Structure formats: structure tokens, C-alpha cells
């Protein structure tokens, strides 16, 4: 990324250069990696004074530059930052209203409120509209009751849940008392702030069951977990109510007329996650290319008799492997930089044309970059 964000990236690199004990060793056990990743993130926020949340809103390019630099230190750190700031923080800021910003912004930004983004369920991943977790409004106590109705509805793969998260933005079907035969009306998927663990003791709160998703193929510095809710009561105010609200007497209001329109608006606000994935996958490709090309330059083998051996980068077979990857990485860099640029414009102008462009380009680029990324890593 560098360019106009060079200064903040240098600050991050300098902080980690000065703290060798925070660098991730080549071999590390899962639990140690998770703790190290937490200490890396804590140091970045509390000691180096990096405050990412306002950039999520005001200058996404700068936020992605922070994630890129952190990801170069350890990709688990980049992802853990993404969970805290883009997913948990982003859902509160983008789907909530002023009362949520006033209450949670500082705690999220300072890392006093580590949190999760709990959308995916065991039986519903891509199909978010089909998820089964319910949030039923109780007009007597002015609360929502969050329930996991079946094993398939357990929230799964939730980053920050297994060890560090104190809160989660939980996506659930909003149910209101109604006069029909079923006794409730389904208002569609909404997001709710649900406290998971006690802020002081870190104990799981009543009705919250947390399991560890365990070891993964990669990113083991991130503690993914599973969440089950049993009659968890939260105040009505914890509904992230930007696109739909419930009044004290249980009446639903929204500026958007249908469940489908509300769903599209809700997911539309989360498009930053896709932009971030395209951008951070490109960052990893840059690191991989730099390592492979530098090595090929320094590694010497064969050559004319009685002459210094030749750098393997001078061999055509090596160039045929590396140069197309380098060229693709440059192309991805410019394409994702453009995406980040129009995404930043979209966040400030909300122009309809840009919303469509960002949606299409981010969906395509995320799929394309991550597909080629896995192909390239197979070759390297
Ligand atoms: C490491 C990791 C971390 C994660 N962290 C979080 C988190 O913090 N919070 C969270 O909420 N979720 C998280 N997730 C979940 C992630 O968002 C889901 O894995 C993702 O949405 C896909 O859902 P799924 O795994 O159920 O795949 P599925 O929905 O089962 O899809 C599997 C594959 O089936 C195919 N497919 C499915 N539907 C269609 C269709 N309609 N058309 C064509 N093909 C289709 C596609 O090839 C797709 O890739 C995480 C996942 C992983 C692996």
C-alpha cells in the first residue's frame, strides 16, 4: 500500500522492530499463538497508540494500510484486527445509531471491549437470510431474548469468540409478538449487541455457551469459536437499529418497506469486509513475491567454468514461474487500490452508482484474488 499511508505503516513496522519479543516464531503452538496475537494487537493499540476505528469510518484506505502492515508482521494479527475493528466495530458503527456509537466506540477502539461478529451458523453460512437464531421481543421487560433453536443454528467459526471476546454483534431473526396463529411475526435478520463474558472476571454470562473451533489449517493466532444462546436477555437498546427499530410498545418501524430491502441494506453496509479480504490477500501476495524473488536473486547455482555461479533468477525456468506472479500481484495491487478508493468515496457520498460498483467489484476481486492466491502458493 505505502504511498500516502507510508507514515502509519512505518510506525507499525518500527514498533514491532523495537519489540522482538512480539515477533511470531516459525514454530508456535495454537494457544501460545493466540496469546501472542492478542499481545501484538494490545501493544499496537495501547503502546504504539494506533486507533483504527475512526479510519474504518472516515478513511478506509488508512484502515486497510494498518491491516496490511499488521498482516506483514503476522497475518493472524491482520485478521484479528479485522475481526475487532471491521467486523465487530464496523457492525456497531454501520448498523447502529448514535446511542451505540456513544456507548461503544471508545471501548472498541481502545480494545477495552474486544468483540466478535457472529453471523455464520453451522447450517447457514452463505445463506445469511436463512439463519435460524431468534431474538424475540418481550414487551413486559423491554428486552430481546436470544435463542439458538437447534444445533444447526449454533454460531460457528466466530473470530475472537473462543478466548478473548467480551461482546458479539449477533445476527438473528427479529420476532415480535403478533395476533396471528403463531403468536409472533418474523421481521427478518437484524443485528444485536450481546455481551458474552463478564467485563471484569471474563466468565461466560448466563445462557452463553462458548466452544473452541480448535486448530485450523492456518491463522491459528485467531481464536475461532462456537456460540450457543439459551434465553439470553438483552436490553431493547442493543438492537442495532439503523435500518429497523422496535418501540417500547413493540411496534416495528423502518424507512425500508420490505424484509428483502432491509436485508440488502444491512449486508450492503458490511461490504467493507469483502474489500478488506481482497486487499489483505493482495498484501500477502506482495510478501510472498518479495521472499521468492529476493531468494532467487541471492541463491546462486551453476555457471560458466571458473566464474562466479549464476543467480537462479537469471534462469528462464525460474523467471517463467515468478514473473507472471509478480505481474499478477502488481495488477491486483492497482485493482484493489482502485476498489479501496471507490469504497472510501462510497462511504462518504453514499452515491448509488458507487454502491453498485463497489458491490460488483469487491465480490469479483475477492473471489479472483483469493483463487489465484491459492494457485500461486501451490507453485511457490
Ligand atoms: C477461518 C474462518 C473464520 C471465520 N470467521 C467468521 C466470523 O468471525 N464471523 C462469522 O460470522 N463467520 C465467520 N466465518 C464463516 C464464513 O463467513 C463462512 O464460512 C462463509 O460465509 C461460507 O459459509 P459456509 O462455510 O457455511 O459455506 P457454505 O455456505 O456451505 O458454502 C460452501 C461452498 O458451497 C458453494 N455454494 C454454497 N451456496 C452456493 C450457491 N447458492 N451457489 C453456488 N455455490 C454455492 C460455494 O462453492 C461455497 O464456497 C469464518 C470462516 C472461516 C473458515
- Write out pLDDT tens, residues 114-137: 999 999 999 999 999 999 999 999
Determine the 3-state secondary structure of 19 from DSSP: coil
| Cβ 169 under 6 angstroms from ligand 1 | no
Kindly state the average pLDDT of the residues 286-306.
95
Q: How confident is the model at residue 63 (pLDDT cuts 50, 70, 90)?
A: very high
Residue 155 alpha carbon to ligand 1 centre in Å: 12
Would you say residue 217 has pLDDT above 80?
A: yes
Q: Which residue of 157, 168, 371 sits with most ligand 1 atoms within 8 Å of its CB, as the best mutation to test the pocket?
A: 157
> With 60 as the cut, is the pLDDT of residue 1 above it?
no
The response to whether residue 119 sits with its C-beta less than 6 Å from ligand 1 reads yes
Question: pLDDT-based confidence at 20, cuts 50/70/90?
Answer: very high
217 lines ligand 1 (CB under 6 A): no
Alpha helix stretches (DSSP H) within the chain: 6-17, 30-42, 53-58, 60-73, 75-81, 90-95, 98-109, 259-268, 272-298, 316-349, 352-379
Q: What nine digits make up the cell of 132?
A: 435460524
CATH topology for 3-109 is Butyryl-Coa Dehydrogenase, subunit A; domain 1 (1.10.540)
CATH of 115-256, one of 2.60.40.2130, 3.40.50.300, 2.40.110.10, 2.40.128.20: 2.40.110.10
**Euclidean distance between CA atoms 135 and 266, whole angstroms:** 16
Determine whether 310 is exposed, middle or buried from the number of CB atoms within 10 Å of its CB (0-12, 13-18, 19+): middle
Protein residue whose Cα sits closest to atom 44 of ligand 1: 126
User: What confidence category does residue 380 fall into, taking pLDDT thresholds of 50, 70 and 90?
Assistant: low
Please identify, by atom number, the ligand 1 atom nearest to the C-alpha of residue 87. 8
Residue 79 CB less than 6 A away from ligand 1: no
pLDDT band, very low/low/confident/very high, at 148 (cuts 50, 70, 90): very high
Asked if residue 2 has pLDDT above 70, the reply is no
- C-beta separation of 143 from 233 below 8 A: yes
Q: Is 162 in the pocket of ligand 1 (CB under 6 A)?
A: no
Residue nearest to atom 39 of ligand 1 (CA): 126
- Given this model, what pLDDT does residue 35 score? 98
CATH number assigned to the domain with residue range 272-379, chosen from the 4 options 1.20.140.10, 3.40.1280.10, 3.40.50.10320, 2.60.120.10: 1.20.140.10
Percent of the chain with pLDDT over 70: 97
Mean pLDDT over 341-361 rounds to 90
Q: Looking at residue 181, what is its pLDDT? A: 61
Nearest CA to ligand 1 atom 4: 157
DSSP per-residue letters across 274-320: HHHHHHHHHHHHHHHHHHHHHHHHH-EE--STTSPPEEGGGSHHHHH
pLDDT at 350: 81
Looking from the CA of residue 126, the nearest atom of ligand 1 is: 29
* Ligand 1 atom having least distance to the Cα of 219: 1
Q: Is the CB of residue 128 below 6 angstroms from any atom belonging to ligand 1? A: no
| Ligand 1 pocket mutation, candidates 120, 169, 277, 280, criterion most atoms within 8 A of CB | 120
Residue-wise pLDDT tens digits, 257-285 = 899 999 988 988 889 989 999 998 998 89
**Residue 125 near ligand 1, beta carbon < 6 Å:** yes
Q: Is the CB of 218 under 6 A from ligand 1?
A: no
Q: Ligand 1 centre from 377 Cα, in Å?
A: 21
Ligand 1 contact via 227 beta carbon (within 6 Å): no
Reported confidence tier of residue 372, pLDDT bands at 50, 70, 90: confident
Amino acid at each position: 500500500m505505502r504511498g500516502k499511508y507510508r507514515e502509519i505503516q512505518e510506525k507499525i513496522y518500527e514498533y514491532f522492530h523495537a519489540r522482538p519479543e512480539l515477533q511470531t516464531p516459525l514454530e508456535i503452538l495454537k494457544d501460545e499463538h493466540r496469546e501472542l496475537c492478542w499481545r501484538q494487537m494490545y501493544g499496537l493499540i495501547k503502546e504504539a497508540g494506533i486507533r483504527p476505528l475512526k479510519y474504518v469510518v472516515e478513511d478506509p484506505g488508512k484502515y486497510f494500510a494498518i491491516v496490511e502492515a499488521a498482516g506483514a508482521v503476522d497475518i493472524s494479527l491482520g485478521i484479528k484486527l479485522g475481526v475487532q475493528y471491521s467486523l465487530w466495530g464496523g457492525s456497531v458503527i454501520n448498523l447502529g445509531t448514535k446511542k451505540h456509537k456513544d456507548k461503544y466506540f471508545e471501548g472498541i477502539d481502545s480494545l477495552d471491549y474486544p468483540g466478535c461478529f457472529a453471523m455464520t451458523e453451522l447450517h447457514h453460512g452463505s445463506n445469511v437470510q436463512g439463519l435460524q437464531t431468534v431474538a424475540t421481543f418481550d414487551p413486559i421487560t423491554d428486552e430481546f431474548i436470544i435463542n439458538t433453536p437447534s444445533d444447526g443454528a449454533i454460531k460457528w467459526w466466530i473470530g475472537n469468540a473462543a478466548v478473548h471476546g467480551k461482546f458479539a454483534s449477533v445476527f438473528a431473526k427479529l420476532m415480535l409478538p403478533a395476533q396471528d396463529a403463531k403468536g409472533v411475526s418474523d421481521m427478518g435478520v437484524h443485528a444485536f449487541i450481546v455481551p458474552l463474558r463478564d467485563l471484569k472476571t471474563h466468565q461466560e454470562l448466563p445462557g452463553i455457551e462458548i466452544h473452541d473451533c480448535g486448530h485450523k489449517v492456518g491463522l491459528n493466532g485467531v481464536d475461532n469459536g462456537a456460540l450457543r444462546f439459551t434465553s439470553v436477555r438483552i436490553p431493547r437498546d442493543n438492537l442495532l437499529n439503523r435500518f429497523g427499530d422496535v418501540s417500547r410498545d413493540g411496534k416495528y418501524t423502518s424507512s425500508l418497506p420490505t424484509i428483502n430491502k432491509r436485508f440488502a441494506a444491512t449486508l450492503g453496509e458490511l461490504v467493507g469486509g469483502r474489500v478488506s479480504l481482497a486487499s489483505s490477500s493482495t498484501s500477502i501476495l506482495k510478501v510472498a513475491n518479495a521472499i521468492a524473488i529476493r531468494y532467487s536473486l541471492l541463491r546462486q547455482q551453476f555457471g560458466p567454468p571458473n566464474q562466479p555461479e549464476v543467480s537462479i533468477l537469471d534462469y528462464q525456468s525460474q523467471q517463467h514461474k515468478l514473473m507472471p506472479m509478480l505481474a499478477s500481484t502488481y495488477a491486483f495491487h492497482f485493482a484493489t487500490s482502485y476498489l479501496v478508493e471507490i469504497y472510501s468515496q462510497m462511504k462518504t457520498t453514499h452515491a448509488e452508482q458507487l454502491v453498485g460498483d463497489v458491490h460488483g467489484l469487491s465480490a469479483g476481486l475477492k473471489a479472483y484474488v483469493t483463487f489465484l492466491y491459492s494457485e500461486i502458493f501451490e507453485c511457490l
